[in-house]
Amino acid sequence: MSDLAVEIKSRREELGLTVKEMADSIGLSKDGDKVLRFWESGNGRPDKVVFGKIMTFANKRPYARKITNPKFKFIDLFAGIGGIRIPFQEQGGQCVFTSEWDHFAQKTYQMNFGGEIFGDITEVDIDKDIPKFDILLGGFPCQPFSQAGLHKGFSDTRGTLFFNIEEIIEKKRPKAFLLENVKQLKGHDHGRTYKVIEEHLRNLNYTVTPAILRAGDFGVPQNRERLYIVGFDREEYDLPENYVFEFPEPPKTATRLGDILEENVDPKYTISEKLYEGHKRRKEEHKKRGNGFGFSLFNADSEYTNTLSARYYKDGSEILIDQGENMRPRKLTPRECARLQGFPEDFIIPVSDTRAYKQFGNSVAVPVIREIAKNMLRTMEELESSKNAGCTYQRATS
């Protein structure tokens, strides 16, 4: 085996990546994993540009921050790939605890942020593993609660992942929290799921303010609506029960899909003739039934796309890019998915395309979180000032 082959393989293994992950991460074409294996076995060699990409890929973790005197400390639960963390870190915060169970999401998170990642949140020792912090962040899964009725205390939520959030809040008493979920949580189980969540948070003596915000109103070309829940410790800030947090006013900046699309996209992202014919056939069948289901086609001048989902890797039907007359459409690239969610350009994507689609589909619109974070930190400063002045904060709704 040549020295070059050893260097390539050693670099990949040092990063903890599979051949497929490395091939997709550095942008090799279709069957790039086979080509990379060929190079690693000493048969053939990449050109200087590609070799440089291999040896410099993920040379540093772009969001690894150790702040000597952080403005605040926060924990990142159900962290995914860190979309909620980035804006709070930008505001001067230090993440002191992260939990994410998915191995591949952990890989992406670790490559960008470094630090220790706890796996299963249900196995965390709250007193031992979680240090003191100011803000809890969590994009928790939507789950039904098994017990009928309300007012049952923890028995309503035990066995669900929300219970773990509830337990951490009760034991650690953070000053504030931000929870993110799908818009449908408000109507889940006929509205009962959300009602239980809000009641339990209020029973812990926290304010609760929900809002549904759309990513497309915050500068990214995606019609993605999500539910955000912000709360503050009433004991800490001496807040009235009906206190309402002011969510950011959407700037409603004009958006254009072409602004996030790459040039010279690899042909491997063009869907196959067989898949395209299937899409067209199913769309026609839906049309005959009188509904609008089926694949959706967008171009550079489109104002926004449909919601990017975790199932995008399957067939890309919700967002296909028109490549012109007599050309089959293509899927978004992973980097375009990152941009569609507002992730910074230096965010490292160290997994296969399939995993990347799932991860960005499950993630958050970073610009929305950024504006919420600004408002939360501004509000906390106001509340601290009021507390230090011996005043009761008055803003509330009737």
Residue 160 has pLDDT above 70, yes or no: yes
* Residue 45 contacts residue 51 (beta carbons within 8 Å): yes
Let me know if 319 is exposed, middle or buried by CB neighbors in 10 A (0-12, 13-18, 19+): buried
Residue 264 has pLDDT above 50, yes or no: yes
Q: Average pLDDT of 187-199? A: 85
To the nearest whole number, what is the mean pLDDT of the chain? 90
47 and 127 fall within a common domain:
no
275 is a domain residue? yes
Annotated catalytic sites, by residue? 142
Q: Give me 364's structure tokens.
A: 């958050």
What sign does the dihedral 309-313-316-320 (CA atoms) show? positive
Q: Determine what percent of the chain is predicted with pLDDT higher than 70.
A: 92
35 and 132 fall within a common domain:
no
36 and 182 fall within a common domain:
no
The predicted-structure confidence for 118-136, as pLDDT tens digits, reads as follows: 988 889 999 999 999 999 9
What sign does the dihedral 112-115-119-121 (CA atoms) show? negative
396 is a domain residue? no
Q: How confident is the model at residue 72 (pLDDT cuts 50, 70, 90)?
A: very high
265 and 306 fall within a common domain:
yes
228 and 85 fall within a common domain:
yes
Which pLDDT score is estimated for 393? 56
Parent domain of 323: 257-362
Lowest mean pLDDT among 62-66, 170-174, 393-397: 393-397
Please, which residues bridge with residue 136 across strands? 75, 177
The secondary element (H helix, E strand) that includes residue 280 is: helix 273-289
Which pLDDT score is estimated for 44? 84
The predicted-structure confidence for 368-378, as pLDDT tens digits, reads as follows: 999 999 999 99
State the CATH number of the domain containing residue 289.
3.90.120.10
The predicted-structure confidence for 233-254, as pLDDT tens digits, reads as follows: 999 999 999 999 999 999 999 9
In 3D, which of 116, 61, 69 has the Cα closest to residue 86? 61
397 is a domain residue? no
Whole-angstrom Cα Rg for the chain:
23
Which pLDDT score is estimated for 144? 53
| Sheet of 176-182, strands arranged across | 93-98, 72-77, 135-138, 176-182, 225-232, 209-214
Q: Average pLDDT of 292-315? A: 90
Which pLDDT score is estimated for 116? 93
11 and 86 fall within a common domain:
no
Which pLDDT score is estimated for 82? 97
Number of domains into which the chain is organized = 3
382 and 355 fall within a common domain:
no
**Residue 220 CA: distances (Å) to CA of 116, 180, 270:** 31, 18, 23
The predicted-structure confidence for 340-358, as pLDDT tens digits, reads as follows: 999 999 999 999 999 999 9
160 and 37 fall within a common domain:
no
22 and 115 fall within a common domain:
no
